[in-house]
Chain A
Amino acid sequence: MTLQLVLVVAAALFCVGLYGALSQQVVVMVMMGLELMLNGVILAVAAFWWFLAPNPDGMLLLLVVIAAMTVEMAMGFAIATLLHRSKETDMTDMAADLSG
């Protein structure tokens, strides 16, 4: 197991998530894409921590990424609820305008 191998796996996860975040129309599916991207980031940070500098700072960065994931999830669900209530939709294309 090498740093390069782990980083390639992390890049694959990140890019699969990027594809989903760009291509999906349903808000929850877009959130899944973002989650997958953050999954790749978590793996990459863990690899950097383990293979380069195994001190507590790297673990704190991991906790910050996990916190960012939590924030993304909570706000995504709240926006999905708001969209469904105000426009009866769950698709990003139907929420492209700013008018109330």
Chain B
Amino acid sequence: MLSIIVFSALAIIAVASGIAVFRVDSMARATYALAVSFVAVGVMLVMFDLDYIGVITILMMVMEMAIMAIYMIMFMGMNPALMPMSMVHNNRWSAILATGIFLLLAAGALLVPWPARSGTAAPDLTVAVGEALMGSKMLVMLTVSPILFATIVAALVLANPRGRYDRWGDNLKRVCPDDPQQGGLGK
């Protein structure tokens, strides 16, 4: 009974703060609301005995929201905590589509005859997931690792202000290259 009460409270917090992300007046508050939603879901994961995954979800998302707040301050050129904003397009149809999909998913969740639970959880789930990752399910790790590495390279290439073919000559302190066409070979 207690677990149902706690789960319901966490569910209300997660969904309400998720809605608040798109309703509050400033981007900073939206970031905090999203962080609260993730923390609530992380605690729900801990309730499912997924301690390791719950904790890394909370840690990762809190850090990500901090980075997101920095990005907003960098790119919005204003104090995001003080500046009301509403920058939406196609608001009505987005709400209709999201509501329709929610009704569809909720109907599926409630009407499908889910099978009974089979098997029991390992006594130490963190050890079990570690052994699976380093043992029989190593292909998952071998696939995710190069994807993460490729992401690092791609993010650096995209975010790097100097392109592969932007020639800067020997004056590395110049503000921008004087190429006739940006990214071109000519100088």
Q: Does A95 contact B (CB under 8 A)?
A: no
Q: Does A9 contact B14, Cβ atoms closer than 8 Å?
A: yes
Known contacts A39-B41, A71-B151; is-contact A79 B119 (Cβ 8 Å) = no
| Tally of B interface residues using CB under 8 Å | 82
Question: If A19-B22, A36-B21, A39-B37 touch, does A24 touch B88 (CB 8 Å cutoff)?
Answer: yes
The reply to whether the CB of B105 lies closer than 8 angstroms to some CB of chain A is yes
The interface bits of chain B over 20-49 (1 if a CB of A lies within 8 angstroms of the residue's CB, else 0) are 011000010011001001100100110111
Q: Report how far A31 CA is from B90 CA in the complex, Å.
A: 17
Q: Given the complex, which residues of B lie within 8 Å of A32, measured CB to CB?
A: 21, 30-31, 34, 68
**CA–CA, A17 and B19, complex, Å:** 8
Asked whether A64 lies within 8 Å of B140 as measured between CB atoms, the reply is yes
B residues 140-187 touching A (CB-CB < 8 Å)? 140, 144, 147-148, 151-152, 154-156, 158-159, 161, 182-183
Docked-complex contact A56 and B122, CB < 8 angstroms: yes
Number of CB contacts from chain A to chain B under 8 A: 225
Residue count of chain A within 8 Å CB distance of chain B: 69
**Contact of B15 with A13 in the complex, beta carbons under 8 Å:** yes
Which chain A residues numbered 1 to 28 have a C-beta less than 8 Å away from chain B? 1, 3-9, 11-20, 22-26, 28
Binary flags per residue of B110-150, CB closer than 8 Å to A gives 1, else 0: 10001101111110010011011100010010001001100
Give complex CA distance A29, B11 in Å.
22
Contacts of A70 in B (CB 8 A): 60, 148, 151
User: Chain B contacts of A85 at CB under 8 A?
Assistant: 161
Q: Which residues of A contact B41 (CB under 8 A)?
A: 13, 39, 42-43
Smallest CB separation, B75 vs chain A (Å): 5
Q: Nearest chain-B residue to A35 (Cβ)?
A: B34
CB-CB < 8 A to B114: which residues of A? 3-4, 51-52
B60 lies within 8 A of A66 (CB): yes
Listed A/B pairs (29) with beta-carbon separation below 8 Å: A1-B3, A1-B47, A3-B114, A4-B110, A6-B44, A13-B18, A16-B21, A20-B22, A23-B90, A25-B87, A28-B72, A29-B27, A36-B34, A42-B45, A46-B44, A46-B53, A50-B121, A51-B117, A52-B118, A56-B132, A59-B50, A62-B50, A62-B53, A67-B148, A71-B151, A74-B151, A79-B158, A81-B158, A84-B74
- A23-B91, A23-B94 known, 13 other contacts, Cβ within 8 Å: A6-B44, A15-B99, A15-B102, A19-B94, A29-B27, A32-B68, A36-B37, A43-B44, A46-B50, A46-B53, A62-B53, A67-B148, A71-B147
